[in-house]
Structure 1
Amino acid sequence: MSYRYVNRVPRPWTLLYPAVLLFWIIPLAVVGATAELLLWSIPSMLVALVAIRAFMTLTISVADGEVVTVFHWGWPRRRISLADVTSQRVTTHGARYGWGIRFVPGGTLWRIWGRDSVELTLADKGRTFSIGTADPEGLLAAIATAPRSSTSTSR
């Protein structure tokens, strides 16, 4: 059995993307942008837009004895061997942890939206890896029923 779920930022929040443009363009127009100001503003605006776009989808898959989480363009990516998972449970993380890749007490959290997540406890030092998802029960069931392999491939 394999599982694949793509988490997406809700459509209203995708307006954040063009809003970033407005927050750069309006001040530049009001100030009367010089060539030097544009030289620094345009690259920094592009970096911000790429960073926002990169964290608008999170694909989670469970197959071949591992859990794979990957953001929009295939990077960052995290592979965890199910043999390295000692326990899993559904949990919630408040809004204060934000979205993207975050450090949370005891481990890390990867999410793009919502509060629900599946927390995996890893064999090495009991660290946790939480995966934010709109389908926590489906992901938990897929992890619980997936075959464990004996080779360690956590990366």
Structure 2
Amino acid sequence: MDCPALYRHSQASPPAVWLVACCWWIPVALLSAGHDPEAAPYVLGILVAATVVYVSFLRLTVIVTHAEIRLAYTFGWPRRRIDRGRVISAVPHRIPWWYGWGIRWTPKGWMWNAWGRNAVLLTLTDREFLIGTDDAGGLAAALALH
């Protein structure tokens, strides 16, 4: 049985929709400009696959319950669960721009981020972990609840 959510918030990447829309015009323009028409299905297939992967990381949802922290991207995958018993502290944190977005390794440990430079730095029993959010204060407060 699932525990009731103490906190639930989703953050979307604002410029992502424009980037996807703009990327569709590149192969269309190349194919209509007289380039190899036999390559069209391959270009279209690559573009569709890249778009699905890109859209998969547009939204990050964070759910905090008494037992765990759940992170999930747009389609529910990739996802991660962190046991609340492992959390020693959770503080709002400003990440440098070069940390980027998505799932990546940083000097502070693993980071999951959809967009922006605000995050919550979790100090776990064995490592640190960053959760990107536009509601760092709210997430940190929810994690402070027992």
The two structures share one fold, judged by TM-score above 0.5: yes
Alpha-carbon deviation of 1:96?
1.5
Q: Aligned to 2:33, what secondary structure does the other structure show? A: helix
Structure 2: 5+ residue stretches without partners: none
Unaligned ranges ≥5, structure 1: 148-155
Q: Which residue of 2 aligns with 1:19?
A: 22
Please say if 1:8 is aligned against 2:16: no
Deviation at 1:24, TM superposition (A): 1.9
Cα deviations by residue, 1:1-36 (Å, 9 ceiling, x for unpaired): 6100010122x542112111012211222242321x
Alignment match, 1:70: 72
Question: Which structure carries more relative contact order (alpha carbon 8 Å, separation 6+)?
Answer: 1
Question: Which SS does the other structure have where 1:58 is aligned?
Answer: strand
1:115-126 correspondence to structure 2 within 5 Å: 115-124=117-126
Return the match for 1:92 from 61, 82, 94: 94
CA RMSD of aligned residues (A): 1.5
Give the secondary structure class of the aligned counterpart of 2:53. Answer: helix
Distance 1:53 1:13, change over 3 A: closer
> Take 2:143 and 2:57, find their aligned partners in 1: how far apart are those partners?
24
Q: Which residue of 1 aligns with 2:42?
A: 40
Structure 1: 4+ residue segments shifted above 6 A? none
1:130-152 Cα deviation digits (max 9, x unpaired)? 1100000000000011x3xxxxx
Question: What residue in structure 1 maps to residue 111 of structure 2?
Answer: 109
Q: TM (normalized to structure 1)?
A: 0.85
Aligned-pair CA distance for 1:67? 0.6
